[in-house]
Amino acid sequence: MVESVAREKKLARKIIKKYSLSPPVDIRNLIENYAKCEEDSLPNNADAICIMNIERPLVILDNGKSENRKRFTLAHELGHLIIPWHSGMISCHTDNQDVVDKGAYHTMEAEANRFAAEILMPSEWLNDMVTKHEEKGLVELLEIVSSEAQVSISAAFFSVINHLPNGYIFYIKSDEWYSGSLRRSQGTNIIIPKLDAEYDWRFMEKCAVDYGDYKLAPINIVWWKFPKCLTEVQLVKTIEESDDLDLNYVFNKVSSYGTGVFAASFLNIIGLLPRGYLVKIRGVDYGRLFRSPNTNISVPNFKSFEEEVYWFKKHASKSGIFEYQGYKYFWGYFVVKNPELNTQDKRLSKNILKDILKDCYEDAAQRQKYLYKINGIVGSLNNRAPDEFEEFYRMFKERFIGVEIFSKIVQHPDFEVFIINKVIELLERKSKS
């Protein structure tokens, strides 16, 4: 996959190449090529003031900050000087590495921070550092990067997390924030259940191969390292080994590879299953549904585990329950067979549906209510309808599986004819348009 690189990072890489830079970068000497640099005591806890709209730009650095912070601030100010769309006079606070405010000022500050991080800790160099030292543990890795690049641990952290292998999850919290921020290393695809509306940290600890917390004033970072997901070859082999594709076998086999391997591999398993599989994760007050590719079946909201189990057993061709770290994974396989095309019944689908509703409901208001509901389903399907009859038919049938309010209608002997004729009509209309 081609890396998407922000414009400011590309500019930083041009400067690195132009001056043959490598950590630790002599940032004070570098910025002198672009601006006059002074130190003074600045108000409002500012790190620096950058004045660009004068003959020779001026950077005034706060003299009360630590040396590593000054280095990052100088790289940040260099970013303002180099990035063409930054101009004027800017008072900078460089301690926010994770700016989320979308205002123009905060956007420029975030861009300057990313430029600074790339200048002081080039991506290629960071990749080498992670390759050499990640196995020593996260804390030691951060200390090595901080020491060799002469940056703060905080600056090292926010750069390193973008270069870690998949499997790392971070929860970043400050006393000044209402809620924390969850960050993942690239490629990390792990479902984190919730307990009482909060992330289930106990689940994380049980599944992680390593975890800890790190105080980086003014923020606190809790981190977890998960094992690697099984490879696609391993997962496909496990799925193929299963007798009649029993997910209990697949889930148990994947879990046997070690702590947290099932959590790390779960979404990849779902993505490799054939069409028609549903998996519902349930906890005390947590529920989340997952579908195998191209599956459009929905599961109603149930108040109890027993109701959910009953629904899966009633409507699925096969089903089961797998328990993992305090959560139940209800699963079912729902089969939709391709129909035998009925060419004898030439009625319009809308007339077939009206006849079905007359047979099912005496009350005209009820008939109208279900007519609206079914027409709504037809409309939503038609917006993303495939060109092939079989695929469209399967999408249509899946929308009615296990939906109790349509049980009378689905059981009507003409319902199958209604779907077949409706799909044919929609495809003919689509081909003409």
Of the pLDDT bands very low, low, confident and very high (cuts 50, 70, 90), residue 314 is very high
Residue range of the domain that includes 269: 233-333
Q: Are 115 and 25 in contact (CB under 8 A)?
A: no
Q: Which of 51-65, 146-160, 248-262, 321-335 has the lowest mean pLDDT?
A: 51-65
**Does 255 lie in the same domain as 155?**
no
Q: Are 120 and 105 in contact (CB under 8 A)?
A: no
- Burial bucket for residue 127 (CB in 10 Å: 0-12, 13-18, 19+): exposed
**Does 374 lie in the same domain as 326?**
no
**Does 157 lie in the same domain as 53?**
yes
Q: What is the DSSP letter of 342?
A: -
Q: Which of 135, 163, 191 is the last residue of a domain?
A: 163
pLDDT of residue 312: 92
**Does 394 lie in the same domain as 289?**
no
- Rounded to the nearest 10 degrees, the angle between the axes of helix 389-398 and helix 415-432 is 130
Q: From CA 373, how far away is CA 404, in angstroms rounded?
A: 13
C-beta neighbour count of 305 within 10 angstroms? 12
> Which parts of 91-152 fold into alpha helices (H)?
104-120, 123-133, 138-149
Distance between the two ends of the chain, CA-based, in angstroms?
37
pLDDT tens digits for 22-57? 999 999 999 999 999 998 888 888 888 888 888 899
Q: For residue 220, is it within any domain?
A: no
Of the pLDDT bands very low, low, confident and very high (cuts 50, 70, 90), residue 103 is low
Q: From CA 154, how far away is CA 174, in angstroms rounded?
A: 13
Which residues have CB under 8 Å from 186's CB, separation 6+?
162, 164, 166
Q: For residue 197, is it within any domain?
A: no
pLDDT of residue 52: 87
pLDDT of residue 160: 96
Average pLDDT, the chain: 90
- Asked whether the predicted pLDDT for residue 97 surpasses 80, the reply is no
pLDDT of residue 329: 96
**Does 6 lie in the same domain as 145?**
yes
pLDDT of residue 304: 85
Determine the average pLDDT of the residues in 255-284. 96
Q: Which of 309, 333, 357 is the last residue of a domain?
A: 333
pLDDT of residue 284: 82
Residue closest to 129 by CA, chosen among 152, 147, 145, 140:
145
Q: Using only C-alpha atoms, what is the Rg of the chain? A: 29
Q: From CA 22, how far away is CA 120, in angstroms rounded?
A: 8
Q: For residue 187, is it within any domain?
A: no
Q: Token match 């543990």: residue?
A: 137
- Asked whether the predicted pLDDT for residue 99 surpasses 50, the reply is no
- Rounded to the nearest 10 degrees, the angle between the axes of helix 153-160 and helix 104-120 is 90
Of the pLDDT bands very low, low, confident and very high (cuts 50, 70, 90), residue 101 is very low
C-beta neighbour count of 347 within 10 angstroms? 14
Q: Which of 307, 333, 359 is the last residue of a domain?
A: 333
Q: For residue 170, is it within any domain?
A: no
**Does 388 lie in the same domain as 249?**
no
**Does 120 lie in the same domain as 31?**
yes
Q: Are 242 and 250 in contact (CB under 8 A)?
A: yes
Q: For residue 225, is it within any domain?
A: no
Residue 363: strand, helix, or coil: coil
Query: What's the structural domain count of the chain?
Result: 3
pLDDT of residue 215: 85
pLDDT of residue 1: 36
Percent of the chain with pLDDT over 90: 64
- Asked whether the predicted pLDDT for residue 222 surpasses 90, the reply is yes
**Does 64 lie in the same domain as 156?**
yes
**Does 365 lie in the same domain as 327?**
no
Q: From CA 11, how far away is CA 125, in angstroms rounded?
A: 17
- Burial bucket for residue 85 (CB in 10 Å: 0-12, 13-18, 19+): exposed
pLDDT tens digits for 186-213? 989 999 998 877 899 999 999 999 999 9
At 354, which helix (H) or strand (E)? helix 349-360
What is 280-292 written as a DSSP string? EEE-SS-EEEEE-
Q: From CA 149, how far away is CA 158, in angstroms rounded?
A: 14
pLDDT tens digits for 54-93? 889 999 988 988 899 999 999 999 999 999 888 777 777 7
At 390, which helix (H) or strand (E)? helix 389-398
Determine the average pLDDT of the residues in 409-413. 93
pLDDT of residue 46: 86
Residue closest to 259 by CA, chosen among 201, 207, 212:
207
Q: From CA 201, how far away is CA 195, in angstroms rounded?
A: 9
pLDDT tens digits for 114-141? 999 999 999 999 999 999 999 999 999 9
- Burial bucket for residue 67 (CB in 10 Å: 0-12, 13-18, 19+): exposed
Q: For residue 3, is it within any domain?
A: yes
Determine the average pLDDT of the residues in 220-243. 95
Which residues have CB under 8 Å from 274's CB, separation 6+?
245, 292
**Does 360 lie in the same domain as 324?**
no
Of the pLDDT bands very low, low, confident and very high (cuts 50, 70, 90), residue 96 is low
Q: For residue 218, is it within any domain?
A: no
**Does 250 lie in the same domain as 371?**
no
Residue closest to 118 by CA, chosen among 163, 60, 51, 85:
163
Q: Are 184 and 110 in contact (CB under 8 A)?
A: no
Q: For residue 47, is it within any domain?
A: yes
What is 80-92 written as a DSSP string? HHHSTT--SEEEE
**Does 103 lie in the same domain as 132?**
yes
Extract the tokens encoding 117: 């991080």
